[in-house]
Structure 1
């Protein structure tokens, strides 16, 4: 078998981009990374379907509900950048496996918790797992996806709603088993089963990202990874023939500052805006759909849960359509259109939710979820993943993910308090300001990675930052001095 020679990161990126499809071991890795996002959604929404029964079971106040439901997101704010730093420093796979272990511990603690405080402890571990996993899994997906399929990263949004819908279906099943108000224990316990299965599968089948290895100038390991993944023989060029990595970020956790400078600044602002705004609107409205359904359709658990399931099926459809929408419109424009439509839905709910006929009460929240999932719901993660080079990618995902987790925590915390204090209608109207502001920002900033002609990993023609420019100047001076000495 003739071997393929790797000279540097550009050869790795070019080979992956030339693939006609994501197949073989690469497809297994791609879907296992995506399955980790299924677990994140499943664990994060495990309390959602059973929140009403749990509130009765543990006699929780509105403040306790707000703290409990938002805790995982507050924890994720801290662990998003930690996970990103670990992945950019040590590789993608070890922290991914660690995240599954944390999710398993969190599920077990919450499922068997005798007290409210123990449930909080379980949700702490779930938040840590969610924070670590999401930043890394999206980076890994980007590094295994050919350039022509960039929009497919948005598939994670469809997977998210499949996980949420699965939780709702299981909740109905557990309800019919007669478990009573303990239904929430079964929901969080089932997330532990998913975590255990994924821990085993990822440990067996995952392979380190060759793009990350090449950016770190670990070409021998990159060649071994490529051989495992693609079933072809890869070797490394002689040292004299290797292409050096320009502008490599080598300052560890201090790399975080780089995403707020130079050409990356606008990319960070755009991705962070989409991430935070979509998190607030989803976790303030979408996450609470089972509770909103109780308000709209009455107190029957099965009817309200079926109503929430219908809403989320629109999310499944929109989520799996988001790669198509993103490819057609671009991630930025798709986000802007989605935010504009969500703003309209929230205004309608704010003014008319009490007087709407039942058919309209189904349609408006369903359209909210559809426009959210097909547009900005997926795009915040994808924008941050596709906008930065490999040694910054997971760290950028971590920082921008932390901003998104802050939005999620605010949404989860604010909604029950506002709903109790001023009612559901005014709450919807206040929240409508979020997608309106995001729509404006998405309309002003023009960056879109799906419309870029060069991968961020190959953006080496011009220095991005002053520190890079200085490093290049020193290297040029050293090269000139070497020539003179000869």
Structure 2
């Protein structure tokens, strides 16, 4: 069962109320899942320099493990959206968090690249499945006027997870080794899965369309802080067999162009993001920085993304997504070109990290905002699957960054790394300029 068009009574009930404290706390809770998603996903990038030295292997030997995670995320993003639309956002999210938590924790006990690749694939399934369901929940817990900001606030926790991971890696790796970093990340993730299972309500939109009973609806309303809302909703007549929009709708004549442009933007933005996640610490270490400084470089890349994504979310509601995201993508092209030219210049660490933070801010800001744009492009009946499919297509870019990075970036070093980011973001600028279903100006 995938549900039909978003019930107008539900949308009206949420839109006519203020954005309450409980709704914001629920947003914080699902955002924490994405923060740990970012931490767990980037943990291998942080550990890579130490792990390569410990195992005595070259970068190319671990390219398969990096690609396995992205392949798992591709499958997880598409299937996670389908599970969310069929069985509920909450169930899909909790299951995904458990999966990537267990997969990450067990990496702390592997001894070969093959074992590492297998567990990264398993963790990737959960990592990918979390995104479409968090985006859908954030959109459906929130009044329409704040929807783009809410989705961005949740997805921005990917780079924030990288910031937390960078600080944890700088503290843990020199003292306890790379194994402890994975055990820490996985253990925290499994603890969060328990909290989500106990506290998180199901999407009210999903429950109404599914024909849930009044007790389930009242429980969801109470956890959202809308205790008196049940009396304002019409009696549920859903049977679980409502007419829904098939997934093929994304390629119907009225949607095809925007879907293809959205997929391409996801693909090239994720190439840029995951090139940094997978290879930036290693490249910085090869250019003279120690392990802790290399981890701090990726943390700077991520911290810039946190700040600019929040700014982007605030500005999108007023100026629309085309101007804000397009301008940020253009700036990313310019900063990446500058860093490519300065790659072999002896910059002080503070100056280098500032430029990397600006580059990461623009790249992550655009990539994070694409989730809000996708939630706006697709209606409720298609939202989790539409966002999941766009994310899954984007994972092909992340896979490309892992496989090609070992060859291209391994040969060209930092200039090739920054140059690749510049080219990728130039393609994103073109896609954004052609897409028609942008978040409108207020």
Structure-1-length-normalised TM-score: 0.82
Paired with 1:145 and 1:266, the residues of 2 have a C-alpha distance of: 28
Change in 2 beyond 3 A, CA 1:48/1:189: same
Counterparts of 1:30-41 in structure 2, within 5 Å, are 30-41=27-38
Partner in structure 1 of residue 297 of structure 2 = 307
Alignment partner for residue 373 of structure 2, among 365, 383, 387? 383
Partner in structure 2 of residue 249 of structure 1 = 244
Paired with 1:41 and 1:404, the residues of 2 have a C-alpha distance of: 16
Partner in structure 2 of residue 131 of structure 1 = 128
Partner in structure 2 of residue 161 of structure 1 = 159
Alignment partner for residue 203 of structure 2, among 195, 203, 209? 209
Partner in structure 1 of residue 321 of structure 2 = 331
Give the drift of 1:140: 0.9
Change in 2 beyond 3 A, CA 1:93/1:283: same
Alignment partner for residue 18 of structure 1, among 4, 16, 19? 16
Give the drift of 1:310: 3.3
Partner in structure 2 of residue 263 of structure 1 = 254
Give the drift of 1:130: 0.8
Counterparts of 1:14-413 in structure 2, within 5 Å, are 14-24=12-22, 26-152=23-149, 153-177=151-175, 179=176, 183-218=177-212, 220=214, 221-222=216-217, 224-229=219-224, 230-232=226-228, 234-235=230-231, 237=234, 248-249=243-244, 255-296=246-287, 298-355=288-345, 357-358=347-348, 360-374=351-365, 376-413=366-403
Give the drift of 1:324: 1.4
Change in 2 beyond 3 A, CA 1:339/1:129: same
Paired with 2:382 and 2:347, the residues of 1 have a C-alpha distance of: 50
Paired with 1:266 and 1:14, the residues of 2 have a C-alpha distance of: 30
Deviation digits for residues 242-266 of structure 1, max 9, x if unmatched? 7999x9426xxxx221111143334
Range with bigger deviation, 301-310 or 406-415: 301-310
Instruction: Give unmatched runs, 5+ long, in structure 2.
Output: 1-5
Contact 1:158 1:319 survives alignment (8 Å) = yes
Q: Secondary structure at the match of 2:98?
A: helix
Contact 2:268 2:424 survives alignment (8 Å) = yes
Give the drift of 1:217: 4.8
Paired with 1:287 and 1:120, the residues of 2 have a C-alpha distance of: 14
Instruction: Give unmatched runs, 5+ long, in structure 1.
Output: 1-7, 453-486
Structure-2-length-normalised TM-score: 0.90
Give the drift of 1:419: 2.1
Contact 1:30 1:141 survives alignment (8 Å) = yes
Counterparts of 1:445-484 in structure 2, within 5 Å, are 445-451=435-441
Range with bigger deviation, 210-219 or 318-327: 210-219
Deviation digits for residues 8-45 of structure 1, max 9, x if unmatched? 81111011112212322x33322221111112111101
Deviation digits for residues 219-253 of structure 1, max 9, x if unmatched? 745455324432225145358xx7999x9426xxx
Change in 2 beyond 3 A, CA 1:271/1:332: farther
Contact 1:39 1:191 survives alignment (8 Å) = yes
Give the drift of 1:269: 2.8
Q: Secondary structure at the match of 2:271?
A: helix
Contact 1:307 1:362 survives alignment (8 Å) = yes
Give the drift of 1:77: 1.0
Paired with 1:12 and 1:108, the residues of 2 have a C-alpha distance of: 40
Give the drift of 1:437: 1.6
CA RMSD across the alignment: 2.6
Give the drift of 1:84: 0.8
Range with bigger deviation, 412-421 or 202-211: 412-421
Give aligned pairs, total.
432
Contact 1:104 1:195 survives alignment (8 Å) = yes
